[in-house]
Structure 1
């Protein structure tokens, strides 16, 4: 998870980009922060998906093979 300070900085830069514009240095910082945010979000979302188990109305597991394979490949890996 991204720190509150980094999220606040992302929001500050986004707001300033809409109003006064950003310097080249600030635009680069914004790009890096957004990339870090997206990377963290994707890792978190993938972790959530790996905790999903799909069960039909008969109580039988019907989790897609692709998800099962992904779970096995990432078993024990910390994000």
Structure 2
């Protein structure tokens, strides 16, 4: 995850780029000093278990923080990513 988000931050990718390449976020919230926080939820692999081979997906939460100029300013993701 770090390998894809760090270059996006350094290249100044904006909200339009993420919406085009990642799709609409699962949630949006305004930030206190301007900008928005976007949250994406994704399935990132999982585990099959015995006896019935039940599949348990790993849920991944990705948080993108955009500044008032709509550029990516910070990001975070859960350990399941």
Q: If the TM-score is normalised by the length of the shorter chain, which range does it land in?
A: under 0.3
Q: Which has the higher helix share?
A: 1
Larger radius of gyration: 1
TM-score (norm 2): 0.26
Q: Which has the higher strand share?
A: 2
Q: Which has the higher contact order (CA 8 A, sep 6+)?
A: 2
